[in-house]
Amino acid sequence: MVRHRGSVLVDTNVILEAYRTDSWRALVGGYRIETVEECVTETQTGFQRRRREEQIDQEELRERLGAVHAVDSLAHAELAVRIGNLALDEGETCLWAHALTRNDDWILCGPDRASLRCGVRLGFRERLVSLEGLLGYAGHRPRLALHTAYSREWHDRALGELVLAENEWN
């Protein structure tokens, strides 16, 4: 994969991990990073359980993002019809509902297995990327190691397993 030039949609977990590893500036410096309102809201919950360096200033976050999208009920309904009984958390649901409204060259970074399964089920496997991959193509190596679910290796293995599982589902 070459470095992506279009929009990169990220979920809450990616934002938190990029902040935790001090990689956020490299990520937003290398890509047009976008998310949805629900993911921004989720970054503001749980402060009491985070170390000071992991706390995210909402105003600064919004300033650095390429866009923060609102998602309407029609987009939610279309997603629900297309993915069936697959359970996603609210931020991921909004992010995927938004993704379905787009017709540009986007990719999505989110390590949750349910989100990856959703991408596979919707036919977007080739648009799913790991945080480690994004940072690598931007020329950044985090000082702190990324958690396992953000690595290329974990991402590729999980996608392979999910493709097989979805083939059985169909």
- CATH code assigned at 55: 3.40.50.1010
pLDDT in tens, 5-34: 899 999 999 999 999 999 999 999 999 999
The answer as to whether 147 is a domain residue is: yes
**Average pLDDT in the 70-93 region?**
95
Q: What span, in angstroms and rounded, lies between the C-alpha atoms of 68 and 108? A: 14
The answer as to whether 2 is a domain residue is: no
The answer as to whether 12 is a domain residue is: yes
Q: Which domain holds residue 52?
A: 7-169
The answer as to whether 54 is a domain residue is: yes
The answer as to whether 1 is a domain residue is: no
The more confident residue out of 85 and 101 is: 101
Give the pLDDT of residue 47.
Answer: 57
Q: Tell me what the pLDDT averaged over the chain comes to.
A: 92
Comparing CA positions, the residue from 113, 120, 138 lying closest to residue 8 is 138
**Average pLDDT in the 75-98 region?**
96
- Backbone φ/ψ region at 109: left (φ over 0), alpha (ψ -120 to 50), beta: beta
pLDDT in tens, 30-62: 999 999 999 999 999 865 566 666 679 999 999
pTM here is: 0.93
Total domains, the chain: 1
Triad 136, 140, 142: Cα angle to 5°: 105
Give the pLDDT of residue 94.
Answer: 98
Share of the chain above pLDDT 90, in %: 84
Q: How confident is the model at residue 129 (pLDDT cuts 50, 70, 90)?
A: very high
The answer as to whether 111 is a domain residue is: yes
